[in-house]
Amino acid sequence: MAGGRRGLLRTRPEQALVPAEPSRVQPMTASNWTLVMEGEWMLKFYAPWCPSCQQTDSEWETFAKNGETLQISVGKVDVIQEPGLSGRFFVTTLPAFFHAKDGIFRRYRGPGIFEDLQNYILEKKWQSVEPLTGWKSPASLTMSGMAGLFSISGKIWHLHNYFTVTLGIPAWCSYVFFIIATLVFGLLMGLVLVVISECFYVPLPRNLSEHSEQNQRSEEAQGAEQLQDAEEEKDDSNEEENKDSLLDDEEEKEDLGDEDEAEEDEEVDNVAGGVNEERGDTSDQGHLTEATVSPEQPSSADIEVAKDSLRQRKSQQANKEL
């Protein structure tokens, strides 16, 4: 029994002394991420608290061990420690996988299983995936600015945790601190911009400034005079048009009055002629056998009667129209 215990005691230290196999997955940071711009790479973005990320850890390690056979490098990015890289690649879900070939990036949306990853590389399925080009490329200036914003937000988050967890400050006190810091920072940035503008702004000499002011005033006065002249011309043209229209109306009225007078004269003549005919009929019928009968001129009484009858007709017509 003692010999067996000694054997166990000997084997346990020997097993404990066996070193663990080092990981073939290369951690990527903000300082060495440019390595993926050369050669072929597969990157995994993860977080230590993410259960889905933990499920793919063993598969990712197996994939990294076969990296030499597949002629590919395998890396990983901790989004908690490297928020700038997560912003550069615009990572919104975890885990997230990316393929890089000579600086051209593509998003891998398949499962994080070794067989699928291996077939993705051997069969070159990445060629059928649309690359991230233009402003979406992680190497673009736009995504560099996004990386800066994410890194600042990560630092603010770490500072908030330091206040609330390490120092035990209430969360609302931390929020008030960040609000005040934001306002002060904005005021300082505004002051810096004002100072910069004052440094680059070259004031004009006094004589030139006075001359420019006089020119500006003279131009304004000329403009006002031109506006007044234009308004006066418009008023004159409007008055002339009104006068012309009034003259035309008066002429039309005179023409209409002449036409009415002519019509009245014709109607008076017709009525007077009718009266003469009636009188001629009532006279001695024996005189009808004469060869010629001289027409009688209408008297003033006949004309008055004709005018009265004409006025009555016009009044009747006006009443009917009303």
100-149 per-position pLDDT tens digit = 999 999 999 999 899 999 999 999 999 999 999 888 889 889 888 888 88
This prediction has a pTM of 0.54
User: Could you report how far apart the first and last alpha carbons of the chain are, in Å?
Assistant: 142
Backbone angles phi, psi at 233, to 5 degrees: -60, -40
Mean pLDDT throughout 204-233?
75
pLDDT attached to residue 291:
39
- Cβ atoms within 10 Å of 271's Cβ, excluding its own: 19
180-213 CB burial, b ≥16 within 10 A, e <16: eeeeeeeeeeeeeeeeeeeeeeeeeeeeeeeeee
- Cβ atoms within 10 Å of 151's Cβ, excluding its own: 18
Which residue of the set 30, 35, 50, 113 is catalytic?
50
Active site residue 199: no
Mean pLDDT across the chain: 78
pLDDT in tens, 247-290: 777 776 666 666 666 666 666 566 555 545 555 554 444 443 34
Which residue of the set 28, 36, 42, 53 is catalytic?
53
Active site residue 173: no
39 Cα distance to chain centroid = 42
The answer to whether 264 and 258 have CB atoms below 8 angstroms apart is no
Least confident window among 17-31, 50-64, 83-97, 303-317: 303-317
